[in-house]
Amino acid sequence: MGFNEFLFFAGFLAFISLMLTLDLGVLSRTNKSVSFREAATWSLVWVIMALIFAFLLYKYGEQMHSVKDFDSLNKVVKEYVDKDSRKDVILDANNYEKSVQSYRDLVALEFLTGWILEYSLSVDNIFVIILIFASFKVREKYYKKVLLWGVLGAVVMRFIFIFVGSALIHQFEFILYIFGAVLIFSGYKMLTEKEEEEIDTEKHPVVRLASRYFAVFPRYVADRFFVRRMGKVFITPLFLVILVIEFTDLIFAVDSVPAVFAVTKDPYIVFFSNIFAIMGLRSMFFFLSSVMHLFHYLKTGLSFLLMFIGTKMIISIAWHEGLEMIGYKNYYSLFIILGILIISVLASLAFPVKHEKHQH
């Protein structure tokens, strides 16, 4: 890892740590429900931050891998840019500035596409989190604290998942076929499965596993995760909720992380896009939870999105010239993802479901 690469990555982690510390130490001191206006403001803040980061990649993206001359740029392109995308990078030894700017353009586009993809897939995660809170009967004023620690755990898990996955892909490219098949299957399953009304909290595998190894207190104790009674430490039901949410995010990572690998093979871009989506998840939860029932076709759109990404991944590996023969460009993926989401939202508003039960 070069010095500039270390600074770039360390700076990003420091920024995320600062935001989490600010959230934990200042913004979450009081247990109160998050208003729609506050959630909308923070959602906008995270969107703006992601766009600023995309602009930084557009201006300084080569620093992500300590590129300092044409030879190092050429090496990075061969290592981290997939075959379909290399044609968009101009490698001209006589014009380094033009070459490096074409690389910056590519990584900025890949980040934007990956971020929008992850952000949209996290909507399905919100469906499940709403269900978890309702099933475990969590009081609304504790949502914010639970989601904060859920986000922190998700950041750590995604970091491990992404860089292990990237190492495996570099060693065994056939894993991308498995990723593509998983995405297609997940999209089909999402399209055909029925909505769950409630989770059986006692039979949930995470609850049963935790109950086997830890003493579980029978009731909530305000917003505490642990309590001590008669010299013995118990975990509270609120801590069980965090464990269930972490387990849920791990399941979603099996879909969402491979989906971004269909956009880029660069583990840093995959990580950055994932983290921005996760960091914006909490505010988006409060922003969408009260109006989620209005967008009943969104889950259908997400299922088609997963199947599209999985199909594109398999075609690009098995038939490299196929996408190029039909004139497919990398930025088309961004337009297709946005198109699927917009059509899903418009269809939901145009054809509302009457008498739909909505659970807060």
34-58 burial, b at 16+ Cβ within 10 Å, e below that, comes to beeebbeebbeebbeebeebbebbb
Q: For position 356, what pLDDT does the model report?
A: 47
Q: Which residues of the chain have pLDDT under 50?
A: 356-360
Q: For position 360, what pLDDT does the model report?
A: 43
pLDDT tens sequence across 55-104: 999 999 999 998 989 999 999 998 888 777 788 888 888 999 999 999 99
Q: For position 358, what pLDDT does the model report?
A: 47
Distance CA 44, CA 33 (A): 19
- The Cα-based distances of 326 to 279, 319, 321, 323 in angstroms read 37, 12, 9, 6
Cα 175 from chain centroid (whole Å) = 20
Task: Give the total residue count for the chain.
Answer: 360
H/E segment holding residue 198: none
pLDDT tens sequence across 95-145: 999 999 999 999 999 999 999 998 888 887 888 888 889 889 998 888 888
Tokens of 78: 């061969």
**Who contacts 39 (Cβ-Cβ below 8 Å, separation ≥6)?**
283, 284, 285, 286, 287
Q: For position 359, what pLDDT does the model report?
A: 45
114-152 burial, b at 16+ Cβ within 10 Å, e below that, comes to bbbbbbbbbbbbbbbbbbbbebbebeeebbbbbbbbbbb
